[in-house]
Amino acid sequence: MDLDYWWLLVIPVAFALGWMAARYDLKTLLSESANLPRSYFRGLNFLLNEQPDQAIDAFIEVVKLDPETIELHFALGNLFRRRGETDRAIRVHQNLLSRADLPVKERDHALFELGQDFLKAGLLDRAEETFRSLQTGDHALGAQRSLMTIYEIEKDWNKSIDTARRLETMGAASLEKEVAQFHCELAQEALQQQKPDEARRQITLALKANPQNVRATILSGDVAAAAGEQKTAIAQWRKVEEQNPAYLPLVAEKLMKAYAALGQQEEGANLLTTWVDRYPTNDLLDVAYQHVAALRGPDAAHALARTQMQKSPTLAGMTRLLEAQQATAEEPRRSELDLMRTLIKQRTKNLPRYTCQNCGFRARLFYWQCPGCSGWETYAPRRIEPMAAAS
């Protein structure tokens, strides 16, 4: 095979080109570094030495000398805010806003970042004032979203509704789910203040915004029950099965109280056992078991618990089954069953009941709005399976 000697020239040529490129890049870097103000390097040095206040002063001087370094201020402010040093973030962004020559676009950006600083620091009044000043521009939509967050924190539901509607007109995705929940919050407040007419009005508005809002249906039953209209309350709560059966545990005990007020406990127990059979959950089983045991005796409760354990075995169901067996057992079998039930209850009592499907925040109580991420309707209304949670 003939050897193409000209390939031997490729290696030295490539090396020469690489050396020339490196020299050019080095010259460019040195040139750019020479043009940077000395304050820039002093600021970096202060920052690396954990002296943020001195770093801020140095970077402020940089911006005065070189207006092109505005982005440096934004990066520095965001860094401080993420670290929880909101006072320093506020100082950085306020310094930017003090510049008379700051372009309108950059001023809006600085205002938005300053509002985020105030919000992170819990200065809600100052954050609201800042965001309200951003009615137009690239940050107007984000400012309105932040305003809605502020109003939710303050539980100012009327302003939350107005802001949500404004967001929709500005092109944001539909916020009907959130608006319905805001109306439900107002209905809840009216119910607590014994204003049934206002509660009904807010419930109607909630269902108009979101006809599938289960909370509004539950509240409608609550208003009827508070007025002594037990049959109407039962009819409203039974609608939950059509809307979303997963929420039935939230109305199970309410239903039994209403049936008891009417003297129809057996009808209520029949309904609960039907639901347990159709939609087996630990919460439904707990309510049904207690009432079946009280109305029909331990044997009926035992049969209910055994049937559910065969269909859907859980540690919570096992606790109920052992309790039912213990009620009819004799010594020493009763003591053994009590020991087993106690061990299982100790194993499961500290497990959280509900988990946010959005952020994973766990809580023992059910929330319509997650305390962790502030999302609405992110909790599945059922307890975590203990064995799954443990694993």
Q: What is the pLDDT of residues 332-345, one digit of tens each?
A: 666 655 666 666 66
User: Cβ(71)–Cβ(107) under 8 Å?
Assistant: no
Q: Is residue 271 domain-shared with residue 333, that is, in the same domain?
A: yes
pTM: 0.76
With respect to residue 276, please indicate whether it lies within any of the assigned structural domains.
yes
With respect to residue 150, please indicate whether it lies within any of the assigned structural domains.
no
Ligand-binding annotation for 356, yes or no, is: yes
Residue-level pLDDT at 276? 87
SS3 string, the chain, reads CCCCHHHHHHHHHHHHHHHHHHHHHHHHHHHHHHHCCHHHHHHHHHHHCCCHHHHHHHHHHHHHHCHHHHHHHHHHHHHHHHCCCHHHHHHHHHHHHCCCCCCHHHHHHHHHHHHHHHHHHCCHHHHHHHHHCCCCCCCHHHHHHHHHHHHHHCCCHHHHHHHHHHHHHCCCCCCHHHHHHHHHHHHHHHHHCCCHHHHHHHHHHHHHHCCCCHHHHHHHHHHHHHCCCHHHHHHHHHCHHHHCHHHCHHHHHHHHHHHHHCCCHHHHHHHHHHHHHHCCCHHHHHHHHHHHHHHHCHHHHHHHHHHHHHHCCCHHHHHHHHHHHHHHCCCCHHHHHHHHHHHHHHHHCCCCCEEECCCCCEECCCCCECCCCCCECCECCCCCCHHHHHC
Q: Is residue 290 domain-shared with residue 342, that is, in the same domain?
A: yes
Domain end (from 235, 255, 275) = 235
Angle (CA) 173 177 183, round 5°: 125
Q: How many domains does the chain have?
A: 3
Q: Is residue 189 domain-shared with residue 231, that is, in the same domain?
A: yes
Q: Is residue 341 domain-shared with residue 297, that is, in the same domain?
A: yes
Q: Can you tell me the distance from the alpha carbon of 341 to that of 322, in angstroms, rounded to the nearest whole number? A: 6
Q: Is residue 205 domain-shared with residue 270, that is, in the same domain?
A: no
With respect to residue 190, please indicate whether it lies within any of the assigned structural domains.
yes
Q: Is residue 331 domain-shared with residue 308, that is, in the same domain?
A: yes
Q: Is residue 270 domain-shared with residue 334, that is, in the same domain?
A: yes
Q: Is residue 339 domain-shared with residue 363, that is, in the same domain?
A: no
Q: Can you tell me the distance from the alpha carbon of 374 to that of 136, in angstroms, rounded to the nearest whole number? A: 26
Question: What pLDDT tens digit does each residue of the chain (391 aa) get?
Answer: 444 555 555 455 455 555 455 444 434 433 444 445 555 555 555 555 566 666 666 666 555 545 556 777 787 788 778 888 899 889 888 988 888 878 899 999 999 999 999 999 999 999 999 999 999 999 999 999 999 999 999 999 999 999 999 999 998 999 999 999 999 999 999 999 999 999 999 999 999 999 999 999 999 999 999 999 999 999 999 999 999 999 999 999 999 999 999 999 999 999 999 998 898 887 888 888 888 888 888 778 777 777 777 666 666 666 666 666 566 666 666 665 566 666 666 666 655 578 888 888 888 888 898 888 889 988 878 766 544 444 4
Dihedral pair phi/psi, residue 133, rounded to 5°: -80, -10
With respect to residue 159, please indicate whether it lies within any of the assigned structural domains.
no
Ligand-binding annotation for 184, yes or no, is: no
With respect to residue 244, please indicate whether it lies within any of the assigned structural domains.
no
Q: What is the pLDDT of residues 261-317, one digit of tens each?
A: 999 999 999 999 999 889 888 788 888 888 888 888 877 877 777 777 766 666 666
Which residue in 207, 171, 170 sits closest to 187, CA to CA?
207
With respect to residue 332, please indicate whether it lies within any of the assigned structural domains.
yes
Residue-level pLDDT at 294? 86
Q: Is residue 347 domain-shared with residue 358, that is, in the same domain?
A: no
Containing domain of residue 378, as a range?
352-383
Q: Is the dihedral of CA 135, 137, 143, 148 positive or negative?
A: positive
With respect to residue 256, please indicate whether it lies within any of the assigned structural domains.
no
User: Cβ(287)–Cβ(273) under 8 Å?
Assistant: no
- The CATH number linked to 216 is 1.25.40
With respect to residue 362, please indicate whether it lies within any of the assigned structural domains.
yes
